[in-house]
Structure 1
Amino acid sequence: MTTLDLPGLPGLPVASVVEPRARFRDLVGSEWLKLWSLRSTGWSLLLGALAVVAFNVGTAWDHYRYWLQYDAASRADFVAHGMALWDAFTYNAALVLILSSAAMGVVAVVGEYGSGLIRTTFTAVPARGALMAAKVLVLTVVQVLFGAVVAGGSFWSTQAVLSARGIGLPITHPGALRIVVASALLAPVCAVVGMAVGALLRKSAVSIVGAFVLLLLLPAVLTERRHLSAVLAHATPLHAWQRLADAGPRAEQLFPWSAGGAWLVYALWALGGAVVTVLAVRRRDQ
């Protein structure tokens, strides 16, 4: 309580009003509404999902169409080594998924800077770290669901196509579930990395190019023929996904690594991206 001195009414008590701090669940709810209020969110997810599934189904259809033209030895190897899993989630589909998810992560952060809404947001919520943490959590949940739908849909549709030739595999086949989970989690990992790049660069075009270089171009130029280059390659999400999605006969590798190491790469990139996103706004101007 405070007092207000007025003529004839000295010491009149006046209740002080203290603005309550926004609870974290309120921030999460706000960011959820903000994300889905953008028309581009739904379209980005829909078009990204269709493109990814199309790449995978197209590869499975190619094997279905030309199956009878393969020689007997090739067909036997295909079945014996479970190579139908290669169609469950292809390399080209992974590239599309990485670009789509990273771009959405960039836009989730940079979009507010471009429109100037970030000034209003930070004025309403001075706790910038909590605000960005809520943004990371919301986008991560959306991308986990997106990745699960895309990876699960790709597996079901590709194996359904191949089953018409009697060569489709169930989800219980060794390595099948790992491919689906690894492909699904690739989406949130790359989305969070995109958010980190956007929080650092704050320009849409520059941030998307930066995410492209970091997640796609850099892994493409790293070779596994040299030890240092192989170590750096293994530390990227794309190569980690390749290791986890490796089904069928494995080629001889100069510097082999474990699936556990690939899962660790996923975790470190996701954690690092979240930390950078939260800390990048704390000591910088709007």
Structure 2
Amino acid sequence: MDKPTRAQARVLKHLQNQSVELHKMIAAATERTHTGETVPQTWYEHFHGRAVLHEELQRAAVAAGIPRTWIDHVKERGERNVRWRKELYLRAPEPVDRPKRLAALGADVQRLREWTTVHAAYPGIGGQSEAATASDVDRALHALWARSAAVAHILGVTREEAETLWGTTQNWVDTANETIAGIEREQPLSQRWRDIANADTLAYALQAVALKHAGITAATPSAPPDTAETIPRIRAVLNAATAASVVDTETPRIQTNAAIEAAFPTFSDPIAEPNPHYNIWAEIDSVAPEFSSAAGPDLSP
């Protein structure tokens, strides 16, 4: 691979232009201090938000198989105040261990598969009164799905690879009872459900948002099964299997609009003021599972 794919170019372009903006911010603050002016607290908040997304985009790029040589090269150019131009060359990349990247992605999606099945099962049995916990689980699922779908897109995961790594929606539905039985042999289902709610998925959330800002927004046909579609199907299968012992199989709607506030401004508006009400989870919710055509979306940088 001597040149980046369209999806890789989108990420590299965003990384380079982010570096330019961060460098400009530092230079402006340095000049201000040299003249005796005080840098306002809002600057630090704004810079921190941008820097965090920049770092997480780099981590997502590595996970998606973009060579580190290219990542370092575009960062260096950005620090020299050079914005992305597609005619600029990139250094010869090091070999990327794609099977290793696929295995790591597959492990994430297998975790998503288990979490999806648990979330489909428990609220219908005993979690109807725990709306806050259900909301936390929803957010964890959405963060993990959005980041996994974006990484799969950049890696160029094929349908055949996806079926081998994590299966289809129907596979998840067909094995739901087996999955739940295996979990219950280890711990109560209620405890596993609450463990999911308490899982730290912030890095996945940040990477999903950073990739969205880079233009990776459309899920390819080989993306992991969409949890919003899969959960009702799994729930129907589980309810049918336990109909004799469950009096009330009515379950609450999945709550996907929970609010968690974080001061992470977007890179789409370089002069935007820090927004204390920026909702990273709401932004992830906006990354809808919009499946592209077989040719994929137009990702020309």
Q: Would you say same fold, with TM above 0.5? A: no
Point out the structure with max Rg over C-alpha: 1
Query: Which one has a larger percent helix, Structure 1 or Structure 2?
Result: 1
Q: TM-score, normalised by structure 1?
A: 0.27
